[in-house]
Amino acid sequence: MAVLSPRLSERLTGVAYQLGWKVICRFPESWARRVFMAVADVAWRRQGPKVQVLEANLRRVLSYRDRDPAVDGKELRALSRAALRSYARYWLEVFRLPVIPVEQIVSGMHFHGPGEEALFAHLNSGRGAIIALPHMGNFEQAGAWIIAEGAGTFTTVAERLKPESVYESFVRFRQTLGFEVLPLTGGAGPFVTLATRLRAGHLVCLVSDRDLKETGIEVELLGEKARIAATAALAVHTGAALMPTATWFEEDGWGACIYDEIPVPASGTRAEKVAAMSQQLADVFSAAIAEHPQDWHMLQRVFLADLDPARQPPPSVPSPGPPSRGPRGGPRGYGGRVAPRNGGVWGGRPPEEMQP
């Protein structure tokens, strides 16, 4: 079997994504959906390396949700198939988003909890806000929704991808939606610009359940040690409101919940404050993922036990204390629990091909 050179493979990947935006939006949605679901099912049956990583992550979700280390293999396989189909829906919608009417984006978004009002209250008062999300649902649709609802624009960060043409295509795509996109690498770093935007009372949206620069914060996520992005450091540094958010798919649209603000602790060193806030953020992510596990599109290793020990950086801050719990035993926000199960970064998501 012929093996493509890395350079040729990157060029073909770039062409494929360009064709995705130019061609898929011209097909009837029902046809395109059948094709994407079929591709997802093929990837699931082949059970390549990325699917194995996905299932390892989902195994933690089931164990955390059921409070049982023993996970039924059939349930795990069914969940991984649903997750790949959800991931396929994400890509289908990304390619079709330019032709989806704004009215459909707005009317199809079903919000749960009071966080939407709190977010806009912060922005209207001139206080910056940080939306921190896990890799769930459709970030781009949610971003288009929040702009249509009056946020104006927001700033996010994107991982620089290979080939460069794919990264540039994603930047252009997100810019057409009204996003300001900063590169994660290849420059002075996005922190200063993000802090400037927040101090000016603007909105920043960051996918935060994965450490992309090996400078993240060690937390307990879904019952295991993991590293997440140090998004809380922006809130400590600027005083902006840190608001955990989750998005997911629903049969007739999209679901989302903006949870209560995670306040900056009144005492402690800067590192201790960032650690404590990061753990609270991870608590919300854990509960949201457990409510909608099929919509967590984590095809990368995120737990410390799965990472190469030689690549694990030393902890950047002390380990946080016990997680903050809401009045009903869950994470703070939406009455101490996540949105109901029947309810259903932006930036940072690297486009993953559905292949082993």
Alpha carbon distances (Å) from 17 to 34, 164, 269, 324: 19, 12, 45, 42
pLDDT of res. 344:
29
For 340, other C-beta atoms within 10 Å of its C-beta total 12
Alpha-carbon distance of 346 to 154, in angstroms, equals 10
Alpha-carbon distance of 163 to 158, in angstroms, equals 14
Mean pLDDT value of segment 160-175 = 77
Contact 14, 168 (CB under 8 A): no
Torsion 196-197-201-204 (CA) sign: negative
Asked if the peptide bond before residue 318 counts as cis, ω within 30 degrees of 0, the response is no
For 1, other C-beta atoms within 10 Å of its C-beta total 2
Torsion 288-44-42-82 (CA) sign: negative
Beta bridge mates, 246: 257
The mean pLDDT of the chain is 83
pLDDT of res. 332:
40
Mean pLDDT value of segment 174-198 = 88
pLDDT digits (tens, 9 = 90+) for 89-99: 999 998 898 88
At 309, the pLDDT band (50, 70, 90 cuts) reads low
pLDDT of res. 189:
80
Residue 183 has pLDDT above 80, yes or no: yes
Mean pLDDT value of segment 28-47 = 93
Mean pLDDT value of segment 181-195 = 85
Which of 100-104, 150-154, 181-185, 294-298 comes out lowest in average pLDDT?
181-185
